[in-house]
Amino acid sequence: MIIGIIGAMREEITPLLDIFKQYTTHQISNNIFYEITYKNSKIFIAYSKIGKVHSSITATTMILHFGCQKILFSGVAGGLNQNLKVGDLMLATKLCQHDVDITAFGHPLGFIPESSVYIHTDERLNTIAREVAKDQNIILKEGIIASGDQFIHNQDKKQWLIENFQADAVEMEGASVGMACHLFNIPFCIFRSISDSADGNADISFDEFLEKSAKTSANFVKHMVDAIL
């Protein structure tokens, strides 16, 4: 089995590299991929850099170049749903690109012709995630994630995301990683720990909680790897 683990920022993969400790590195497209041998399997870990473009390139490289058969994303997100507090861990059920807008032509927000508004995460991986959460006594919340190339720190925009996409959390990479996986038929799941509430204090909250929330997500992903292998 070859598993790919993607984060957006260095801080999101550092906890995983600290856990696995031994790796070799590969450099492709100005990006470092960490190769780990674990339980007779291979794991590739990389941070993509922020945003939908970078993250879809990283996911595609993981799939086409390194042959990853499953992709897990680990990182942080802004909470939109009041039930998602800073530090909570969530699993994405489906994701959309909130900054796609060709409504001028009568299409729904977030819709691209020959595609769909939402990309669904893999139900089998999600089932494993729920079992892992139960075994580890971890509360794993679930919801819809809206991804876009914007850091959301505004109450009105927050409300807009909830109303238009029923989104529970917002980030900048999940839907694009999902799209790459979907197109190449690779099962994927997205874990995010909440770093902020996407409101007027989001930047301050993000800086304060990035490291801790990134660790929460990464620790869970390590348990996921153990459950898969």
Residue 12 a catalytic site member: yes
Please give the residue ranges that form the binding site for ligand SAH (CB under 6 A): 8-9, 50, 75-78, 151-153, 170-173, 195-196, 198, 202, 206
Rounded least distance, CB 199 to ligand SAH, Å? 8
* Tokens 């996911």, located at residue: 59
Of the residues 88, 122, 168, 196, which is catalytic? 196
**Percent composition of the chain: helix, strand, coil (DSSP 3-state, to 5):** 40, 30, 30
Rounded least distance, CB 12 to ligand SAH, Å? 8
Cα separation values, 43 from 48, 63, 86, 116, 200, Å: 16, 12, 29, 30, 38
Of the residues 12, 168, 171, 173, which is catalytic? 12
Report the residue number whose CB is nearest to ligand SAH: 78
Rounded least distance, CB 150 to ligand SAH, Å? 6
Residue 196 a catalytic site member: yes
Instruction: Please give the structure tokens belonging to residue 81.
Output: 């749903």
Rounded least distance, CB 41 to ligand SAH, Å? 27
In the complex with ligand SAH, the residue whose CB is nearer, 153 or 222, is 153
In the complex with ligand SAH, the residue whose CB is nearer, 109 or 227, is 109
Q: Give the number of other CB atoms < 10 A from CB of residue 163.
A: 9
In the complex with ligand SAH, the residue whose CB is nearer, 9 or 109, is 9
Q: What are the strands, taking DSSP E only, across the chain?
A: 2-7, 24-28, 31-38, 41-47, 70-79, 89-97, 118-120, 140-147, 169-171, 188-196
Question: How are beta strands 169-171 and 140-147 bridged, if at all?
Answer: parallel
In the complex with ligand SAH, the residue whose CB is nearer, 122 or 196, is 196
Point out the residues that are catalytic: 12, 196
